[in-house]
Amino acid sequence: MNKILSFFKHYTIFAVTIAVAVTASLLYLFGFISIAKWFVTGYSLIVALKMFIEMVDELRHGAWGVDILAIAAILATNAVGEYWAALVIVLMLTGGEALEDFASKRAQAELTALMERAPKLAHIVKNKKTVDVAIDEVVIGDTVLVLPGEVIPIDGIIIDGSSLVDESSLTGESEPVEKNEDAEVSSGTVNGESPLTLRTLHAAKDSQYAQIVELVKAASDSRAPFVRLADRYAVPFTIISFVIAGIAWYVSGEAIRFAEVLVVATPCPLLLGAPIAMISGMSRAAKHGIIVKSGAVLEQLSRVKSAAFDKTGTLTENQLKVAEIIPAKGVKAVDVLRLAASVEQFSVHMTAKAMVEEAMKQGITLLAINNPEETPGKGIVAFHNNKKVLAGRRNLLSDEGIVESDIPHTSHTATHLAVDGTYYGAVTFSDTVRSNSKSVLTRLKSLGITRLVMVTGDNKGTAEKVAYEVGIDEVHAECLPKDKVKIIQELSPSPTMMTGDGVNDAPVLAVSDVGIAMGARGATAASESADVVILLDDISKAADAVFIAQRTIHVALQSILIGIAISVILMLIAATGLIPAVVGAGLQEVVDVVVIINALRAHGSWGKEDILA
């Protein structure tokens, strides 16, 4: 609501300023020169007073800006009788704010596209009848019919039908994906030419689409803190402006020189260039399936020097597979898998999914499990037939009293089991390195990241093997979430970046300077704690995010410096008396347009050699 009011306020003030200008011009033409002068002077002083109040409020909150230049220019031009120049300055300032709103609205097109497509209704099938209900009324387990061409309203699994599904609104991928029975589909995607019947997996508020909309809102609503960088230039720019104006006045002996210099020193390039570039960069990232939560994140990401990565689902493929089942003496392998899958069916960890899928593949019926409690990074404690079952890492079993010598060491990532204090067996997993992981890490090095680290809770042998394949020399394996946090906190040089995809990664994503969550699907905690969320299951997007950030900050800085350089040149010329105050005010408007056009370059295309490489 505040944004909407601000939007209309800027346009209203600009419209009022135009009305004042037209009215004053008519008064002047009809001979009411004195009235026109006082009319313009009074209005410009009201605007200056408004700016002064806003400036004082910002100073009260610790923000130093460049509004003092604009205020001084308005006061100086009125003081020397150049009231038309004062009016042009006010027109420039209010028009600049309106233009910024327009540019921001254009740049946010991709950021708002998801929210505009939010599904509102669902076709619920009950007693062989289809009833339309509000999306918020859909509950887990409901049967939902999705007609051809409709936006899929909920996260679900297909129980009848097959179709091509357009996932571009979530992933940025233009090619539709074929979905058949038992395949999962996400809310916000678009069904193709055939009807689908789904079983609801999540309530609307917990759906994939709802999570992403919340992320987009966070990105869209955040005021780009990079404006602070413009304010860093404000103090020297203000001092330089007043020095040039003062010298011009002193040398010429004419007070009007002071006003003429300050007119071309008005600060719109600093006020407009940075935020427009930031919004444009965030919008560009969103178009490529990368949600950046704030402008501050872009600034930090552009300076990253150290990068850490989780292994499973980040540097390796998103799916683990069961490699081997190692039963304890007197236990059958099938029983080990049955028990492991039964306990782990309640977990969202990659190893859990692999065990459940393998059990289903073998036609194994899962057991009834009671009171499962998961400790991230360690495993699950549960009960079956009143027997205490442990399923997880070695340290979970040893902490629960299992003799360590009874727990075999494995060369691969493994889930170990124990029943009522007795070791029961293990399930090991194999993983495949993503085909582009090595090239992505090479690209990150070319972007200035000097230290690459793997931080994972997985087996040391497996982690080192993957690290060797992708070109990482530093490996921290078998880490608990708290271990990962400590490693990232001590990582240097800074700023640091952490990329991961699971619940276990949520704490470390939160403490890193920039946390990047892969995929967003099924990892709500990781997505919420991250600064950047990659909607695609594609590690190359991490490098794209760094490139976009660096490009955006480059354009923002360039816009600021271009505006400052042109303003300084105009100030030096104005100091000689060659630029009348009214003309100077108009020239400054041209500078604003140049800065805005340049800032919008952050939203433009960069070519395949730069992004999506």
The Cα 533–Cα 297 span in angstroms is 12
| Owner of token pair 């923000």 | 63
Q: Residue 450 burial (CB < 10 Å; 0-12/13-18/19+)?
A: exposed
CB distance 318 to 357 below 8 Å:
no
Give the number of residues written for the chain.
Answer: 613
One-letter identity of residue 300? Q
CB distance 30 to 42 below 8 Å:
no
CB distance 138 to 152 below 8 Å:
no
CB distance 148 to 142 below 8 Å:
no
The Cα 544–Cα 582 span in angstroms is 46
Q: ∠ CA 576-582-588 to the nearest 5 degrees?
A: 80
Q: Which tokens go with 213?
A: 């909309």
Burial 94-119 (b: 16+ CB within 10 A, else e): bbbbbbbbebbeebbebbeebeeeeb
Q: Which tokens go with 122?
A: 């669902």
From 101, 142, 310, 592, active-site residue: 310
Q: Say which DSSP state 312 is in.
A: I
Cis peptide before 495 (omega within 30 of 0): yes
Rg (CA), the chain: 31
Q: Residue 492 burial (CB < 10 Å; 0-12/13-18/19+)?
A: exposed
The closest of 108, 109, 130 to 121, measured between CA atoms, is 130
If residue 378 lies in a helix (H) or strand (E), which one and from where to where? none
One-letter identity of residue 439? S
Task: Determine the straight-line distance between the first and last CA of the chain, rounded to whole angstroms.
Answer: 40
Strands (E), 1-142: 121-126, 129-134
Annotated active-site residue 310? The verdict is yes
Q: Which residues are catalytic?
A: 310
